[in-house]
Amino acid sequence: MSEPVQSNAEDFSSSEDESGSEESIDTPPSIPAVIANWYLNENLGSGYSGSIFKATHLHTRQTVALKIQYVHHECPTNRYERHLYPLLQGGVGMPNLYASGVQGAWDYLAIDLLGSSLDSLYRRSGKDTMDLRSVCSIAIQVITRLQFMHHRGVLHRDIQLGNCVIGLPPNEKTIYMIDFGFSKRYLDQYTGRHIPDSKLKRDFIGNYWFSSVNVHCRGKVPSRRDDLEAAALMFIHLLTPRGLSWTRNGVPKTDDAHHRLKAEKRKATPEGLCRGLPIEFEEFLAYTRRLAFKENPDYDQWVNRFRDLALDEGFANVDQFIWPPPVPVKPPIKTINTPLRARTPAVPRDEMADILNGLTNLDLCAKPVLGDRTNVQEAVRKAREDAKRDSAPIPAARETIVISSGSENSSPVPAARFQRSKAFLLNQLAERARGATDNAALARLVREFAAVLQVNNSRTRTLTREAFGVLDVLYKQLDDPSVFVKPTRYSFNSAVQEKEPPHIKLGVVARLRAEVPRAQSNKALATMVSDFAKVTNKSTGRTVTKDGFAFLDGLAERLMVLQ
Ligand SMILES: Nc1ncnc2c1ncn2[C@@H]1O[C@H](COP(=O)(O)OP(=O)(O)OP(=O)(O)O)[C@@H](O)[C@H]1O
């Protein structure tokens, strides 16, 4: 899927012939059966500048991966790699280096023998996306690996799926970083100073698919932020059917094709790339792009975000990469927190016909369904009753306040009493949203929802569990009106635990506010409701901001248009 930019994988043919080459130094000799003390077994893979063999030590019988390279290769990466390995020894997911040297025409590195790369696991799965659990595990582990490498003063500079491999049993749940051929120290070994930035455009080092926009498209000097941006693109790629758009035509063969690829990569925004994905991915990519050249990334924050996302989705032991992914015990429950794309398993073609036939014969009974005009009569009658009930005055003795559409000027109510009333009102709203049969009814409910939140009392502007309940029902109705699930508690609980800087919320909510008038379908609105709930959920105090209320207004208006 991805190749280092100089690549055109070169094939060395394996042979028992140990004699040196008579030919020019441009032509590598045949690979011998033994290099130093290592007997070469099968070829595990070949990269741009060399090959990897499974190899056995002639005396100790230790088995390793032997990375060999012709000494006169134009890109002699082993020569650099052997100096980087010692800096990385001892870290989780960092291969051990057992021996290295040059024998005859061959420069070799003996490292831990590891398992399959993420690239080959993903390809062999035959699915058009990877499951969210696996991607969360990958995110947690890869960010942690980069944290370690950066802590040791080393940049990877070639993050890609082929360079992330799993261990062999018993380490098969650990992801290892390999291929430090393009790696570089970014801290001076004597002074500890960060390498300087430069205005000069430099030659590109990295890979076409995931190298950052700054490095790939603008010729900037790579730093820590670029390793993280590449990782973010890799995670998004795994969750995107058929992958990131610029990866779909294969490796560019001409300069023109390469220019087109760079233009496409440059113009892709985090929002555009992550539509329908859990908000964490978009925010992570945006975060990596905001980092300054020398800035120390907040790795822990992002590891925690991906871990919490996985917990919210009900995945256990997510720090471990388990492949193939464990089958969920229960079918996943869809809530406002459920990503739309990532949780939708790819359906094989032959199963699709059965599913469509099943849908044709589906008996929906009398259950009102948005958009299904044949079974709404009963629901319309109920809606009319609801509307009548809404406009009727509420008995004074009842412990609630009157909220009707746009009633922002309600008289102040003592806080404790209002909190109780608010919960009651929100539960009522959720109940009515559940029975809503068209977008106009939902639009009215959204306005009422905003009105309940906006009553002149600062405590009421926060999203309580009941408020999340309303958003959950709304999301369900917009996303898939034929099924209803009860709102889950964990969205509220996790909101209490998590604190995010407010600026993160503002960015997303402002975008939602700007985009809602252009939403093309109820599904698109459902995604926005989900994003709104999540970002408010994960922000300090769960406060609904001005942008948040503007978003709700826009949502109500859009629902009226999309009837
Ligand atoms: N330690 C290892 N254990 C098992 N297989 C490995 C190991 N290291 C590498 N491989 C396999 O060999 C392939 C090439 O390895 P690597 O990326 O280190 O070589 P390279 O010549 O630098 O390649 P590239 O041209 O992709 O940069 C990997 O994708 C992987 O499949």
The complex's ipTM works out to: 0.93
| Residue range of the domain that includes 467 | 422-485+500-562
Residue 495 lies in a domain: no
How high is the pLDDT of residue 486?
A: 36
Ligand 1 centroid–CA 320 distance in Å is 22
Q: Which of 207, 140, 131, 206 is nearest to 173 (CA)?
A: 140
The answer to whether residues 98 and 227 belong to one domain is: no
Which of 313, 338, 372 finishes a domain? 313
Q: Residue 67 in 3-state DSSP?
A: strand
8 A C-beta contact, residue 508 and residue 279: yes
8 A C-beta contact, residue 437 and residue 558: no
Q: Has residue 373 got a pLDDT over 60? A: no
95 Cβ inside 6 Å of ligand 1: yes
Across 522-550, average pLDDT: 82
The answer to whether residues 226 and 294 belong to one domain is: yes
How many C-beta atoms surround the C-beta of residue 464 within 10 A? 18
How high is the pLDDT of residue 27?
A: 87
- Among all residues, which ones are annotated catalytic? 158
Residue 387 lies in a domain: no
From the number of C-beta atoms within 10 Å of its C-beta (0-12, 13-18, 19+), residue 313 rates as buried
163 Cβ inside 6 Å of ligand 1: yes
The answer to whether residues 132 and 61 belong to one domain is: no
How many C-beta atoms surround the C-beta of residue 369 within 10 A? 17
Ligand 1 centroid–CA 45 distance in Å is 6
The answer to whether residues 467 and 529 belong to one domain is: yes
Which of 270, 294, 313 finishes a domain? 313
* CATH number assigned to the domain comprising residue 87: 3.30.200.20
Count: domains in the chain:
3
167-189 as b/e: b if 16+ CB within 10 A: beeeebbbbbbbbbbbbeebbee
Q: Has residue 404 got a pLDDT over 80? A: no
The answer to whether residues 107 and 126 belong to one domain is: no
- pTM of the entire structure? 0.65
The answer to whether residues 144 and 249 belong to one domain is: yes
The answer to whether residues 193 and 81 belong to one domain is: no
Q: State both tokens at 54.
A: 């499974």
Residue 554 lies in a domain: yes
Q: Which of 463, 474, 470 is nearest to 509 (CA)?
A: 463
8 A C-beta contact, residue 155 and residue 227: yes
Across 125-133, average pLDDT: 96
113 Cβ inside 6 Å of ligand 1: yes
45 Cβ inside 6 Å of ligand 1: yes
Which residue of 44, 75, 114 sits with most ligand 1 atoms within 8 Å of its CB, as the best mutation to test the pocket? 44
Across 400-411, average pLDDT: 38
76 Cβ inside 6 Å of ligand 1: no
d(CA 467, CA 422) in angstroms, rounded, equals 9
Cβ contacts of 64 within 8 Å, gap of 6 or more: 38, 54, 55, 56, 57, 98, 110, 111, 112, 113
Across 84-95, average pLDDT: 98
The answer to whether residues 138 and 49 belong to one domain is: no
d(CA 12, CA 68) in angstroms, rounded, equals 10
Handedness of CA 392, 396, 397, 399 (dihedral sign): positive
User: Hey, whose CA ends up nearest to atom 18 of ligand 1?
Assistant: 179
Ligand 1 centroid–CA 248 distance in Å is 23
490-524 pLDDT, tens digit per residue, is 333 333 344 445 555 567 888 899 999 999 889 88
d(CA 534, CA 542) in angstroms, rounded, equals 10
* CATH number assigned to the domain comprising residue 233: 1.10.510.10
Cβ contacts of 408 within 8 Å, gap of 6 or more: 451, 454, 455
The residue type at 92: V
8 A C-beta contact, residue 554 and residue 513: yes
Cβ contacts of 83 within 8 Å, gap of 6 or more: none
The answer to whether residues 49 and 88 belong to one domain is: yes
The residue type at 560: M
How many C-beta atoms surround the C-beta of residue 143 within 10 A? 24
Across 545-560, average pLDDT: 91
Residue 21 lies in a domain: no
Which of 112, 135, 152 finishes a domain? 112
Mean model confidence pLDDT for the chain: 82
> Which of the pair, 342 or 171, is modelled with greater confidence?
171
How high is the pLDDT of residue 436?
A: 87
8 A C-beta contact, residue 49 and residue 69: yes
Task: State percent of the chain over pLDDT 70.
Answer: 73
Ligand 1 centroid–CA 342 distance in Å is 29
Residue 294 lies in a domain: yes
Cβ contacts of 548 within 8 Å, gap of 6 or more: 509, 513, 532, 536
> Which of the pair, 121 or 461, is modelled with greater confidence?
121
d(CA 370, CA 443) in angstroms, rounded, equals 13
